Amino acid sequence: MRILVIGNGAREHALAYSLSRDPQVTEVHVSPGNAGMSAVATLHPEGQPLDIAREVEADLVVIGPEVPLVEGLADELRGAGFAVFGPSKQAAQIEGSKTVAKSVMLRAGVSTARSKRVEVGATQEDIDAALSTFGPTFVVKDDGLAAGKGVVVTQDRQAAVDHIKAVHRGGNPVLLETFLDGPEVSLFCLVDGETVVPLLPAQDHKRVRDNDEGPNTGGMGAYTPLDWLPEDATDRIVAEVVAPVARQMVEDGTPFSGLLYAGLAWGAEGPSVVEFNCRFGDPETQAVLELLETPLGGVLAAVANGTLADLEPLQWKEGYALTVVLAADGYPENPRKGDVIEGAQPGGEDRGIRAAGVAERDGKLVSAGGRVLNVVGTGETLAAARAAAYEVLQTIELPGGHYRSDIALPAVEGKISVRA
Ligand code: GLY
């Protein structure tokens, strides 16, 4: 099987890495890819996905990021006869528009925060009136795509007003929401129409600094599985959230095919939806795929070919996996590019490194984005997985680079609990 992965982040590196270990996969191609993943895939930095899919005679195209999905790349490739892992443009609006996602959830009877849309052009009076029915805590979301950085959760009313105005200046409406209390869970589900197959639940760390301080980012680290969740948590999320949404989307004539990512808060009553994404999450994928025993190519092909219902149950490795993101100086506000990275080479040996915002200069890797690379560690315990990841991270140097030192620490210390 020849597989083309679209994207250039650590998530796509992780996908390419797992695919390269599947005996049924003969070739892995990535477009555009990045200089850190050339050991596991043939890179195609230039050109349109459709042309590249034709050139490499792809048996399957896997679309990583949300932007090309929301813009309709899966439809274009399917229209040209390719098997594609990734939803149609219409189905991808579950991520592309928070308003669409709310509407689907409401009709599917799925628990989520109460929300109100504040349109571009709203006056200060309109904004004040809308805010007075929420918070504190204020949850202000960009209605469109914002790479994980469109959400502000704050006690400060003025900060909420400022974010509303900033999103409006960018041309998007805003969604105000009630704050959902409880630890966050990311559950990735393979979805093919009404068929839903969950992967292992994971937890992301979205704030830039330790102790969940600083602004939201695309994600600074993640781990899996989550021992602090009730035993039936995955079954409940599938039954109460993902399956009803998948059914609703079939009923709406916008069936989902690909990876449906439910971002949830686990409150006193169980799971409530914070957001849906229409693709694998980053950085959770880097950890989750590390524990998947079943070869990935066949799994993704089953979704793309509409045969997920016939797939054997997924097999998982014992133990834990954890990933930590090394970010550039100034991330998330204003990441600096062009710094030389020591301790990781272009297409270098694995050591759990999954490259993201990197480029090659004079035979060395240099930073080329906000989240520069990830290190994945595994272990029999979560503490051992943490130690493995941080040990490798300490051998990598990036001027001004920073990472969180507390990924999964509250879980290791038994400080996360769910209310009964
Ligand atoms: N982990 C957050 C995201 O992928 O959007």
Domain ranges of the chain: 2-88, 114-177
Ligand 1 atom nearest residue 218's Cα: 2
Letter string b/e over residues 167-184, b meaning 16 or more CB atoms within 10 A of that residue's CB? bbeeebbbbbbbbbebbb
d(CA 123, CA 83): 47
pLDDT value at residue 263: 97
Residue 148 pLDDT level (bands cut at 50, 70, 90) = low
**Max CA pair span of the chain:** 62
Report CA 356 to chain centroid distance, whole Å: 13
Residue type present at position 362:
D
Q: Which of 392, 188, 146 is nearest to 284 (CA)?
A: 188
User: Of all protein residues, whose CA lies closest to atom 4 belonging to ligand 1?
Assistant: 281
Q: Could you tell me the distance, in angstroms and rounded to a whole number, from the CA of residue 275 to the centre of ligand 1? A: 10
For ligand 1, say whether the CB of 281 is within 6 Å of any of its atoms. yes
Contact criterion met (CB below 8 Å) for 396 and 342: yes
d(CA 187, CA 196): 12
d(CA 344, CA 366): 10
Helix axes 284-291, 10-20, angle to 10 degrees: 10
- Identify the H or E element spanning 228: none
pLDDT value at residue 419: 76
Best mutation site among 151, 204, 216 for ligand 1 pocket (most ligand atoms within 8 Å of CB): 204
- pLDDT tens track for 39-96: 999 999 999 999 999 999 999 999 999 999 999 999 999 999 999 999 999 999 999 9
Q: Does CATH number 3.40.50.2300 belong to domain 2-88? A: no
Ligand 1 atom nearest residue 222's Cα: 1
d(CA 39, CA 346): 8
Residue 163 pLDDT level (bands cut at 50, 70, 90) = very high
Name the pTM for this structure.
Answer: 0.94
Superfamily of segment(s) 114-177 = ATP-grasp fold, A domain (3.30.1490.20)
Ligand 1 atom nearest residue 148's Cα: 5
User: Of all protein residues, whose CA lies closest to atom 3 belonging to ligand 1?
Assistant: 281
Residue 149 pLDDT level (bands cut at 50, 70, 90) = low
Q: For the chain, what's the residue count? A: 420
* Structure tokens given for 2: 């020849």
pLDDT value at residue 10: 98
d(CA 85, CA 92): 12
Contact criterion met (CB below 8 Å) for 179 and 160: no
Contact criterion met (CB below 8 Å) for 202 and 234: no
**For 311, phi and psi rounded to 5 degrees?**
-70, 140
d(CA 226, CA 417): 11
314 secondary structure, DSSP code: P
* Structure tokens given for 100: 């669409």
d(CA 3, CA 61): 6
d(CA 288, CA 201): 8
Q: Could you tell me the distance, in angstroms and rounded to a whole number, from the CA of residue 204 to the centre of ligand 1? A: 8
d(CA 143, CA 100): 9
pLDDT value at residue 135: 78
Residue 350 pLDDT level (bands cut at 50, 70, 90) = confident
Residue type present at position 399:
P
